């Protein structure tokens, strides 16, 4: 296997010569089969990182390696096959006039044979639970359904990495839940690394690792549990912790000795009853 | 969404005409347009009309739809008919109305031109009734294919058409949303002077254009991220197939052409 990872080495980026640096000396690694969440306030450089990962932008300083191959203008077509992207707006990334045409779009670009396309369309629509919608036009789909089609379109070319840049931000709670479930299923069923950029701290709790961006720099890298221990600092850089974390904090303040940082209701509940039964 | 979202006039169906390869339909219409101008006898016009009516009948498109499709051109047909009637001064004088003399030749020419119009519009609207816009796009891309050799952007043109088809319903939904939002703030699009109404439309158009440009930019980015790099080396999911029906169509058309030249005077 060798090098199966995305690696940022001292990457700095700015959009124009006379503009301030948007990313400053950023280094990190996305490992094989890993789920990394990326958070940070608006303008902290998350989308820029996403675009650098599949060669929509190139850094002025440092280098980016995908499976050991540097992202450059000449390697970009290989890279884009390996690194799939799902964007925020469900409408503005739907290219085809129907679901199946849209799923085929990426495969057509990569010159895949028609038989393979037909097979992959079925498979990837099944993976996101959108089979049966092949002939639907986008205006007959909900936002969540369109985003699932966007995920299927990316899956169809079987990338090793999928980046979701606030893919749930424009959806209602139901659509959000749909997408998160889809992502979880896809990640567990396939050999795939995920980078989810989000504002929703609940989404963060599901990731293996979190990268927190602040002002174009990595502010923190660690597990979700480590992250939520830093409540005051998170609030300082304009991020909020989930309700469960806040409640746990209050409980600790009230003198309840919680042993670990609970990430969700279930974990908090476990903490509480073990505490209750051991006292 | 409602059916009004469907673009164009396509009426779903499974008739002989629906099943034809769109390339055949476009090619035949192209040649039909040419041969219509060769007709010059009652018999030859009869043959052309038979072909058009026969096609309409096999398409199983209700006559009322076809009539509705002809509606916008009625004016044009009557206008050209009257023009010929008035301007042509050959043959015998048939009648004289208020000093205006109507000649035999004028009547014949007027009728012939109107009939040509009708036939042309009938066959072309049959195309849009029985073929989805995306099929038409695919067919145009294929038919114009040879022009790629002289660097005509055939693929780009077809992509542009299909993206327009994709986004027309989206932009229509958006227009509706914005106009409702503006109406709820008291903007009135329907009453007032022309100037007032133009003024009322501006707050509708500005956000629509702003959003359309943003969409275009994001879409271009998304297409690039999915590996789009022009038509070179691209494969296609949608394929067009010539079938038995197309062969029948061509045979019928060749018979029509032969018949036409036999019945010309
Ligand atoms: N196309 C662009 N041209 C110039 N500046 C940009 C462009 N896109 C983003 N920026 C700037 O780069 C910074 C980081 O933006 P972005 O990566 O989109 O942040 P995030 O996704 O975390 O909100 C912001 O200050 C933003 O204004
Ligand atoms: Mg962003």
Q: Give the residues surrounding ligand 1 with Cβ less than 6 Å away.
A: A 15, 22, 40, 42-48
Higher pLDDT, A271 or A107: A107
In chain A, the number of structural domains is 2
Kindly state whether A113 is in contact with chain B, defined as any CB-CB distance less than 8 angstroms.
yes
B248 token code pair: 């029948």
**Pair (A260, A198) in one structural domain:** no
Residue A237 belongs to some domain of the structure: no
- DSSP for A96-123 reads SSSHHHHHHHHHHHTT--HHHHHHHHHH
Q: Which of B140, B135, B170, B164 is nearest to B10 (CA)?
A: B135
- How far is C-alpha A135 from the geometric centre of its chain's CA atoms? 28
Query: Angle at the Cα of B85 (from B82 to B91), degrees rounded to 5?
Result: 175
Choose the most confident range, by mean pLDDT, from A199-213, A242-256, B129-143: B129-143
pLDDT of the residue at A277: 77
Q: Which of A43, A56, A58 to mutate to test the pocket of ligand 1 (most atoms within 8 A of CB)?
A: A43
Residue A195 belongs to some domain of the structure: yes
End residue of a domain, out of A230, A252, A271: A230
Write down the domain spans for chain B. 16-131+241-263, 147-225
Express each pLDDT in B146-155 by its tens digit. 999 999 999 9
User: Which alpha helices (H) appear in chain B, and where do they start and end?
Assistant: 16-19, 22-36, 42-59, 63-70, 74-87, 104-130, 133-143, 154-184, 194-225, 244-263
Residue A209 belongs to some domain of the structure: yes
- What is the pTM (predicted TM-score) of this model? 0.84
Residue A122 belongs to some domain of the structure: yes
Kindly state whether A270 is in contact with chain B, defined as any CB-CB distance less than 8 angstroms.
no
Domain region containing A275? 242-279
pLDDT of the residue at A279: 66
**A69 and A119 Cβ atoms separated by less than 8 Å:** no
Residue A107 belongs to some domain of the structure: yes
Over 80: is that where the pLDDT of B166 sits?
yes
**Pair (A205, A268) in one structural domain:** no
B94 token code pair: 């048939």
Residue where the block lists tokens 């939002």:
B181
A98 token code pair: 């129907």
Distance set, CA A74 to CA A83, A84, A259, B220, B222 (Å): 15, 18, 52, 20, 19
Main-chain phi, psi angles of A45, to 5 degrees: 105, 10
ipTM, 2 dp: 0.86
pLDDT of the residue at B52: 94
CATH code: domain of residue A141: 3.40.50.300
Over 60: is that where the pLDDT of B5 sits?
no
Which chain B residues touch A if contact means CB-CB below 8 Å? Answer: 1, 5, 134, 162-163, 165-166, 169-170, 173, 214-215, 218-219, 221-229, 233-239
**Pair (A180, A151) in one structural domain:** yes
Neighbours of ion ligand 2 (CB under 5 A): A 47
Residues in A touching B233 (Cβ below 8 Å): 111
Q: Which of A44, A48, A65 is nearest to A57 (CA)?
A: A48
**Pair (A208, A279) in one structural domain:** no
Over 60: is that where the pLDDT of A30 sits?
yes
pLDDT of the residue at A275: 76
Express each pLDDT in A41-93 by its tens digit. 889 999 999 999 999 999 999 999 999 999 999 999 999 999 999 999 999 99
**B29 and B123 Cβ atoms separated by less than 8 Å:** yes
In the reported structure, the alpha carbon of residue A42 is separated from the centroid of ligand 2 by a whole-number distance in angstroms of: 7
Q: Which of A19, A48, A163 to mutate to test the pocket of ligand 1 (most atoms within 8 A of CB)?
A: A48
- Residue A189 makes CB contacts below 8 A (sequence gap 6+) with A127
Residue A24 belongs to some domain of the structure: yes
Overall average pLDDT of the A115-125 stretch: 96
Residue A235 belongs to some domain of the structure: no
Express each pLDDT in B26-73 by its tens digit. 999 999 999 999 998 899 999 999 999 999 999 998 888 888 877 778
**Pair (A162, A192) in one structural domain:** yes
Instruction: Report the alpha-carbon distance of residue A64 to residue A83 in Å, rounded.
Output: 13
**Pair (A250, A163) in one structural domain:** no
B42 token code pair: 């009652």
**Pair (A182, A144) in one structural domain:** yes
Distance set, CA B37 to CA A126, A222, B54, B86, B89 (Å): 54, 78, 20, 22, 21
Question: Residue B202 — very low, low, confident or very high, per pLDDT cuts 50/70/90?
Answer: confident
SS3 A142: coil
């Amino acid at each position: 296997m060798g090098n199966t990872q995305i690696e940022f080495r001292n990457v700095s980026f700015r959009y124009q010569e006379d503009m301030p640096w948007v990313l400053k000396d950023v280094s990190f690694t996305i490992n094989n089969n890993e789920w990394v969440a990326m958070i940070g306030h608006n303008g902290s450089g998350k989308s820029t990182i996403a675009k650098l990962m599949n060669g929509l932008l190139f850094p002025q300083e440092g280098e980016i390696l995908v499976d050991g191959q540097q992202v450059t203008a000449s390697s970009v077509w290989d890279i884009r096959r390996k690194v799939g992207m799902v964007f925020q707006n469900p409408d503005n990334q739907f290219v085809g006039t129907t679901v199946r045409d849209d799923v085929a779009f990426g495969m057509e670009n990569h010159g895949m044979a028609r038989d393979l396309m037909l097979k992959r369309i079925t498979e990837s629509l099944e993976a996101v639970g959108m089979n049966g919608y092949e002939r639907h036009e986008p205006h007959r789909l909900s936002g969540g359904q369109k985003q699932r089609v966007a995920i299927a379109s990316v899956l169809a070319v079987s990338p090793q990495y999928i980046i979701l840049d606030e893919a749930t931000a424009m959806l209602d709670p139901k659509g959000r839940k749909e997408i998160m479930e889809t992502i979880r299923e896809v990640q567990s069923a396939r050999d795939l690394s995920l980078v989810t950029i989000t504002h929703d701290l609940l989404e963060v709790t599901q990731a293996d690792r979190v990268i927190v961006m602040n002002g174009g720099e990595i502010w923190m890298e660690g597990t979700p549990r480590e992250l939520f221990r830093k409540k005051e600092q998170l609030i300082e850089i304009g991020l909020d912790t989930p309700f469960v974390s806040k409640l746990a904090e209050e409980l600790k303040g009230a003198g309840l000795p919680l042993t670990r940082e609970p990430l969700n209701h279930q974990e908090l509940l476990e903490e509480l009853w073990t505490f209750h039964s051991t006292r | 969404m409602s059916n009004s979202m469907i673009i164009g006039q396509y009426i779903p169906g499974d008739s002989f005409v629906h099943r034809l390869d769109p390339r055949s339909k476009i090619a035949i219409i192209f040649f039909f347009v040419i041969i219509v101008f060769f007709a010059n006898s009652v018999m030859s016009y009869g043959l052309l009309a038979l072909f058009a009516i026969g096609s309409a009948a096999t398409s199983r498109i209700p006559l009322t739809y076809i009539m509705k499709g002809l509606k916008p051109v009625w004016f044009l047909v009557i206008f050209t008919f009257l023009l010929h009637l008035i301007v042509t001064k050959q043959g015998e004088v048939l009648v004289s109305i208020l000093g205006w003399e109507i000649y035999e030749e004028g009547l014949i020419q007027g009728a012939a031109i109107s009939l040509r119009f009708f036939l042309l519009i009938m066959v072309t609207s049959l195309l849009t009734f029985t073929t989805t816009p995306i099929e038409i796009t695919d067919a145009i891309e294929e038919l114009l294919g040879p022009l790629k050799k002289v660097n005509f952007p055939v693929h780009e043109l077809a992509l542009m058409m299909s993206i327009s088809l994709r986004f027309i319903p989206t932009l229509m939904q958006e227009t509706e949303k914005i106009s409702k939002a503006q109406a709820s703030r008291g903007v009135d699009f329907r009453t007032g002077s022309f100037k007032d109404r133009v003024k009322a439309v501006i707050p509708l158009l500005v956000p629509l254009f702003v959003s359309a440009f943003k969409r275009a930019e994001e879409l271009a980015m998304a297409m690039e991220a999915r590996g789009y790099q022009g038509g070179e080396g691209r494969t296609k999911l949608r394929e067009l197939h010539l079938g038995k029906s197309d062969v029948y169509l061509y045979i019928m058309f060749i018979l029509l052409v032969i018949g036409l030249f036999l019945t010309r005077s």
